Structure 1
Amino acid sequence: MPLADAKQSDAPAKRERAHAGAVRVVAPARLHLGFLDLNGDLRRMFGSIGLAVDVPRTELVLKRSQTFKGEGPDHARALATLRKLADAYKLPAGYEVKVTSAIPAHAGLGSGTQMALAAGAALMTLEGIDHIPSRLGEMVNRGARSAIGMAAFEQGGFIVDGGRGELDRAPPILVRADFPPAWRALLVMDASTAGVHGEDETNAFAALPPLPADAAAHICRLVLMQLAPGLMEEDIAAFGDALTEIQKIVGNHFAGAQGGSPWTSPGVGRVVGALRAAGGVGIGQSSWGPTGFAFAPSQEIARRLYDSAIEVARREGLEILIAEGRNRGASVEKIANT
C-alpha cells in the first residue's frame, strides 16, 4: 500500500479517536528454516520456510500522548514505525509506547518485522483504521525477501512463501499449516553475537553466487514431498531429516558470508551438535543466526535434550530455550488507559 494512498485514509482515524484508552500487542518470534530457490532462473528468488514460536516474543502497549516517547527494549524501532505511520495517515497527536519485552535484535528471529508490525497494528487499532498485516509490512519496508514474518504475525504456524517475483510486493504465502502441538523447538541463543543485517546483509546477498539449479530443485522437492507432509502427518523423523538436509545445502551456500562456516556462532554449532547427538532432529540456524535450533517430538523429550546440552551451552556462554509452535498470530487487544 503506497504511503500516498494511506494519506487518504485519515477520516476513519478521526472518527475513532474518541475510542479508548490503549492497545496491547503480543507478537511471536519466527524461525527462518531455509530458502527454496537462490538460483533465480525461474524469475523468482528466495522462497522462505518459516515457523512462528511462542518464545521469545515482543510485547508492547501503545497510548496517545502529546509527543512521541517510548521506553523499554528496542523501543526506538517502535517509535520509528509510529512516526512514519502517523505522518502517512496525518494523525494529529503523538504516541507513547512501552515495550515490556522484545525479541533479541539481529538474532535470526524476525525482531525488526515483529516490532514494526506490533507498533503498526497497535496504532491502527487505537485509531480505528482497517489494516492488513502484509500491506502494513510493506508500508514500513518489511518483506523485501520473505513474507514469513508478516504471515507469522497474522496467522502463526508453519509457513512457506513463494519468493519475490517481478511484482513489487511481498511474496505470496503458498503453505500455512498448524505446527503439531506436542512438538517442541529447542533454540540455542548467543547474546554476544549478531547475525548479518542491514547494509551488510544486502551486500552479502549481492555477493553470493547463484545456488545451482539442481540444488534449488532438490530443496523444493524436500519441502513438497518430505518436510511439509512430515509436519502434517506428525512424522517428526521425516520432517527432521528433510530440514537437516535443507539446512546443510543452504548453510554451505551461505558459509562464504559467515567466515567459512554454516554457523554464525561456532559455539551455537557445537551446542546444536550436542542436541543432535542426544536425539534432536531437524537441526540448523535461523536466517543469518546466531540462533540455532533442533526439534523434539514432546515436552518430555525436549527437556531431556535440554538437560543433556545445557552444561555445554553454559560453558559456551549460551542459552537454550524450549519453544512451542504458535498456531495463531499476534494478539491485539484494547485495554484501559494506564
Structure 2
Amino acid sequence: MLTLIVPGLIWPYQALLDLTRGLTRDLTHQPALPAFSTLLGRGKLTRLPPCTTHQALAQALGLAAPGSTTPLPAAALRGLALGAINTHAATDVATPDTTAADDWLCLDPVHLRVEQTRLRVDDPQLLALSVAEAEALAVSLAPTFAALGTLQVLTPTAWNLRLHKSTPALTFALAPPLPDHIARAAMPLPAGVAAAPWRHAINEANMLLHTHPINLAREAAGQPPVNTLWPWGSGRLPTVATNAMPPLAAFWGNDVVAQGAACCRNVPAKAAPPRYEKLAINNALMLLDKLELPARSGDTDAWRAELLELETDWFAPLLESLRRGHINHLRLIAPGDAASFALNIRRHHAWQFWRSAAPLTVLAAP
C-alpha cells in the first residue's frame, strides 16, 4: 500500500467551486484534473476528524492513536533527522545525560508582519537567513535563555533549545506549531506563573533583536528582520509506538520533523521526489505538502498551479500504476482544520469505468 498525505486540499465548498471553475491546462478547455477526479469518484471516501499534517503523519507512522490531537515533539524529532541527537546513547546507562533523553523546544526565528490590526506570521523561509546571520543572532540571544536551556542552530531557520534538567517540564503549549500558524495572526504567549520565565525571555529577546546589527543591516538592505522567536514543539523523543501499525518500508517527504518521526520508527526517510516513479516496494508513506502554504496564505494562483502539477506528476501516473498493478492499494489522506478525509482505492476500483468521476468539491469542509 502507498499512503499519500496531501495537506491543503480542504476548502469550504464555495471556495473549492470557485477555485476549480475553469481550471484548464491549455486552450482545449478539457478538464485539467481527469486523473484526480477519477480517483475521487472510484475510491472510497471517508470523512475523518480535523487534524494537522503532523498529527496525520503521527497516526500513519503509529506514533499516535487514531484521532489523537497530541502534537509531535517537533524539536526532538528534527534534531534526530538532522543528526543533532544520538539515539544510540539513550540506552547507555553509563552516560545517563544523553541528548535522546532530554527535553527539547523549537525556538525558531520568525518575522511578524504588521497587517492592519494584527501581526501576521511570515513563512520563515522568506527570511532567507544565511548561516552566518543565524549564528550571530543565536550567539547574542543565547545568554537570554541560558537559565532555561542551551540554544542550538540546526539550520538558519530551525533553532532548538535543549532544556536544562532543572527546567520544569512544559505541561502547556507555549505557542501553536509554527507550520500550522504561518500566514495567520500571531498569538500571545500563555498567561500564568508557569509561563512567566518564558514570557520574560521572549520579551528580552525581542528587545535585543530590535537593535541587533544583523537586523539593522537587513532592514537597510530591504530584507525582513527577525523580530521574535517562536517557541513550539516541546518534548523528548518517543520511545514506544502508541499505535501498532504494519512496518513501513520507506518514507518520502521534505519536512524535517516528518523525517525525524520516520527515523524514530526506524523507517528509512528520504526527500520527496519531484514526481511519481514506479516504486519497487510496498507499504510506503509519502508527504506531498506543496499545496499547504498556498492554502493557508490564500494564494489561489499558486494553489491552482501546484494542483495542476500534482495532477500531472502524481495523480495521473498513480492511476496508471493502479491499473497496471504496480501498486494494489492507494490511500490518500487530506488533513484539514475543519475536516479531514481518507480516500482508499484499490486496483480493481481503477477499472470500474461505470463509476463517474467526482469533482474536487467532495472534499469541501463542512
TM-score by structure 1 length? 0.30
Bigger Rg, which one: 2
Higher-strand-fraction structure: 1
Q: TM-score, normalised by structure 2?
A: 0.28
